[in-house]
Structure 1
Amino acid sequence: MKLLIATTLMVLTIGQANAISRYQTMRMSCAQVQATVNREGAVILRWQSRNTPGLPLYGRYVSDRRFCKLGEVTSFESVPTADNPSCTVKQCVQPDYDNMRFWLHDR
């Protein structure tokens, strides 16, 4: 019985970890992208490269550090949206101890 419960909990946890929403940023305003990230905690954002037509770009963006791996911090990045070519969002990164970049961006 204990094995069944443990297995069920593991399957549920794995299923939730893989359930991350994906959004096309160019179909949303900057405010919509930011609200979506904050509401869901972690999302995949996708858009087309401006420099290389047809090249899809994407990344995983988070509302805060709770959605990062152990040892990672958040850093401000930008993605293009329908109304803003540089919409600010947070992304998990490894800290850069050489220039202490993470102290300025980890929130």
Structure 2
Amino acid sequence: MRLSHLAIMTIATMTLAEPALAISRYNSTALTCDQVRQRVINERAVILRYASTRVKGMTLYDRYVTRSAMCDPHEYAERAYVPTRDTNRCPVLNCQDYDPETRRFGFGKPVIRF
């Protein structure tokens, strides 16, 4: 009985943890800037994709977040812009590598508000 109990607990844990791995994907040019920003806020992290303006037929995508806490420990949230249905420069945040050696004054990761 002990083995079956362990198997049930393992399956239950895997089932509950699975939705945390999912991340929504959206085409940013199909949404308005307000809709994009609201989806990022509601879901804390999303993947946005859009067509490249430099290379015809290429799709660009990245993960956009609400704050640095959503990034890996060696990253921080930096201001970025994506094209949307109503503007070419909708402000969002995405994770960038953090190198404390190159930071001026060495005060740690910058804090940028969504």
Normalised by the shorter chain, which TM-score bucket?
Answer: 0.7 to 0.9
Residue from 61, 77, 88 that aligns with 2:80: 77
Aligned residues: 106
Q: How does 1:47-66 map to 2 (within 5 A)?
A: 47-66=50-69
2-side partners of 1:58 and 1:24: how far apart? Answer: 9
Q: Write out the 4+ residue segments of structure 1 that deviate beyond 4 Å after TM superposition.
A: none
Deviations along 1:41-100, one digit per CA (max 9) or x if unpaired, are 110100000111110000011112232223322111111111111111111222132034
1:45 maps to: 48
Q: Please give the TM-score of this superposition, normalised by the length of structure 1.
A: 0.83
Matched, 1:10 2:40: no
Superposition RMSD in Å: 2.2
CA distance in 2, matches of 1:76, 1:6: 40
Q: Name the structure 1 match of 2:26.
A: 23
Please give the alpha-carbon distance, in whole angstroms, between the structure 2 residues aligned to 1:23 and 1:78: 15
Structure 1: tracts of 5 or more residues without a match: none
Identity of aligned residues (%): 33
Task: Say which one has the larger Rg.
Answer: 2
Using structure 2 for the length normalisation, give the TM-score: 0.78
CA pair 3-70 structure 1, distance change in 2 beyond 3 A: farther
Asked whether 1:103 is paired with 2:110, we answer yes
